[in-house]
Amino acid sequence: MDMIAPCIRWVSIIWGYILRLFGQTKAADLPSDIVVDIFSRLPAELVFQCRDGSRMISTLTTSSSFIKMHLNRATSIIVLQYAVVFETLNFRKGIYESHVPLCFIDEENKKIVKRRLQVSFSCTFEDRWPLLLFQSCNGLLMFENRSVVVIWNPITQEHTIIDIPDSSYVCGFYFHEKTGDYKVVCVRKLKKSLKLIIISILTGSSKQTTWFSQPPHPKAPVILNGLLHWMVWGEPYGRTKCTTLKSSGSIFSFDVDSENIRTIARPTGKNDRPMLLDFVHLLKKEGFLCFCDVTSCTYIDIWILEDYEAEVWIKLQRISLDFLSSSNWKYTVYPLRALRMDKDELIVRWQNILYRYNLRQNIAKKVEMRGTEELPGYYMLLHTNSLVSPHTDNILSFDSPSGTK
Ligand SMILES: *[C@@H]1O[C@H](CO)[C@@H](O)[C@H](O)[C@H]1NC(C)=O
């Protein structure tokens, strides 16, 4: 670990060399596949800066094959929205501005970068709602404020704004391989059915599917093998805001190619009882869907969907929460969440603190966040910086047929 800090200092020096090398010599001097290979291992930010220095670098690093290779090699970082800010009127420009303050925490390289998403718009007289961080996908961050979705690349600063259709809520966005298009998923709840509205960012067009059961929960989906998964949004339970979850049909699954919807049963134990939805969530591990039950104060149960078609769940592991030594833990109903499961590691979030839990050794280690865990307000995601473009800077409108306005 101690080796990393000096390496990072070297990166900018190496970058200087690279820039001079490519700036002075002709493209033929170094085979382009070697150049591509070097650049695909550099941080997205550095690659983006290098584009200004050389035409050749710019051409090579804007190709979609390069962007894909770079994305696959990049490691994930933590992104944290640390304040919820309502829009302000910029008197000088006579426009309204929304901004979202974010912190990017690169644990491995011991680096913290603060950035702001800034969106301006002219005044409309409607109820205001702040932009909130919702999802990360291929290096793009998605925010929503109940009337629009903003998809933004924090490195290239490109963004796209998409209107959320009337009386709908947003459930996430995904990349559709076959069409090379990003799509936003919205849901309109009707009396006896719901409409799933899929909006294409490339064309601005939308498609609807009708479904006669529970809608998906407005949370980022778990994307796996071309399928999107959400917990369903059940009936409200008691006076709390939680909703209960019956076992059958508790997971909503959407196939991005066929656009078919189905539901999957959640795992059930011996003494099955309705579960409070706010305390369970989905994850993925090596191509399998996982179910994370945090309804207990003393352990987390992780299940794995071993047979997708037959809906067969196997309990993978019970994780003791002893590592949350905080004395108030047992008295708070603060939802504990597992953010990611990779090979032998589970990343668990409690309040603003992250733990890396080793599933083999049963050891938890606190993630070094260098003071940012103290920041107020928190929407936290794992994210990978990339050079992926959200395609357009135009505002896509759901209602206009051409998709632009
Ligand atoms: C959401 O933000 C957009 C611009 O970013 C703005 O036009 C719209 O009025 C906002 N909606 C709400 C409900 O605040």
CATH at residue 132: 2.120.10.30
Same domain, 312 and 203: yes
Q: Which pLDDT tens digit goes with each residue over 333-381?
A: 556 788 888 888 999 888 778 899 999 999 999 888 888 877 765 788 9
Minimum mean pLDDT range among 68-77, 302-311, 385-394: 385-394
The pLDDT, as a whole number, for residue 401 is 33
The pLDDT, as a whole number, for residue 402 is 34
Of the pLDDT bands very low, low, confident and very high (cuts 50, 70, 90), residue 43 is: very high
Percent of the chain with pLDDT over 90: 46
Same domain, 89 and 60: no
The pLDDT, as a whole number, for residue 242 is 60
* Structural domain includes residue 404: no
The pLDDT, as a whole number, for residue 350 is 82
Measured CA to CA, the distance from residue 63 to residue 48 in angstroms comes to: 13
- Pairing mode of beta strands 244-245, 275-276: antiparallel
Average per-residue pLDDT for the chain: 83
Q: Whose CA is nearest to atom 8 of ligand 1?
A: 147
Of the pLDDT bands very low, low, confident and very high (cuts 50, 70, 90), residue 284 is: very high
Same domain, 137 and 269: yes
Minimum mean pLDDT range among 11-15, 54-58, 229-233, 388-392: 11-15
Residue 241 clears pLDDT 60, i.e. is over it = no
Check pocket membership of 397 for ligand 1, CB cut-off 6 A: no
**What is the CA(402)–ligand 1 centre distance, in A?**
22
Same domain, 41 and 92: no
Minimum mean pLDDT range among 104-108, 250-254, 261-265: 104-108
What is the pTM (predicted TM-score) of this model? 0.86
**What is the CA(216)–ligand 1 centre distance, in A?**
23
Check pocket membership of 96 for ligand 1, CB cut-off 6 A: no
Mutate to test the pocket of ligand 1, among 90, 116, 121, 398 (most ligand atoms within 8 A of CB): 121
What CA dihedral angle connects 261, 175, 79 and 291, to 10 degrees? 30
Same domain, 14 and 123: no
**What is the CA(128)–ligand 1 centre distance, in A?**
7
Same domain, 307 and 319: yes
